[in-house]
């Protein structure tokens, strides 16, 4: 894993030092980089600030979601004797059934073959469903935060794409400004001559 990180850093360093990278590619890699390279500082700041806000928000939301997930797992362990396993469906079922026996009974009636699925990881909620309902709210809140994090990742990707398109558009505007073509008509000895004047900024 560490070796892969070093390789990525080296490749990224090479890209940063390469002079011939198109501004669009620069902005796809780092939003605002291509715009800054083209001299459009306002556009560059907009995409860079957007990226910063999205990344910080995404990291914060995922951290909060992880904390909430640890809280509901600890709560289920304390009040239902649930095992700590890495299967989201397990935690969904714990929130829907008072015990793994109740889960088995319902799925036996449904005849879907899921009975006994959690026999190795039993649970039994204390009380009259109060703890289970509280747990379910905790799990749903955590899932909402994880979903928000995925939504923000989509926003980050979209910000890279839009910045790349913006840099491409701005680079084409600059290319168009670097040359101009103007028509010209001349009358010489009753002859008409059509001329095109091309000016190129070098």
| Tens place of pLDDT per residue across the chain (202 aa) | 455 544 555 445 555 555 567 888 888 888 998 889 888 899 899 999 999 999 999 999 999 999 999 999 999 999 999 999 999 999 999 999 999 999 999 999 988 888 899 999 999 998 778 999 999 999 999 999 999 999 999 999 999 999 999 988 888 887 665 544 455 556 566 565 555 454 544 4
| pLDDT for res 198 | 47
| pLDDT for res 202 | 41
Please state whether the predicted TM-score (pTM) of the whole model is above 0.75.
no
Cβ–Cβ under 8 Å, residues 51 and 159: yes
Give per-residue burial for 99-126: e unless 16+ CB within 10 Å, then b.
Answer: bbeebbeebeeeeeeebebbeebebebe
């Amino acid at each position: 894993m560490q070796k892969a990180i070093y390789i990525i850093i080296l490749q990224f360093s090479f890209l940063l030092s390469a002079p011939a990278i198109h501004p669009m590619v620069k902005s796809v890699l780092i939003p605002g980089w291509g715009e800054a390279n083209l001299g459009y500082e306002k556009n560059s700041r907009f995409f860079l600030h957007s990226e910063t806000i999205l990344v910080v928000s995404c990291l914060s939301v995922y951290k909060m979601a992880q904390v909430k997930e640890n809280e509901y797992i600890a709560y289920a362990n304390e009040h239902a004797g649930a095992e700590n396993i890495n299967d989201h469906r397990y935690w969904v079922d714990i929130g829907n059934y008072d015990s793994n026996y109740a889960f088995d009974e319902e799925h036996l009636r449904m005849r879907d073959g899921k009975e006994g699925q959690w026999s190795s990881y039993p649970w039994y909620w204390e009380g009259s469903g109060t703890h289970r309902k509280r747990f379910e709210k905790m799990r749903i809140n955590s899932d909402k935060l994880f979903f928000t994090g995925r939504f923000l990742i989509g926003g980050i990707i979209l910000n890279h794409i839009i910045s790349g398109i913006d840099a491409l558009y701005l680079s084409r505007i600059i290319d168009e400004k670097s040359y101009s073509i103007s028509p010209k008509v001349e009358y010489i000895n009753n002859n008409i001559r059509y001329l095109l004047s091309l000016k190129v900024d070098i």
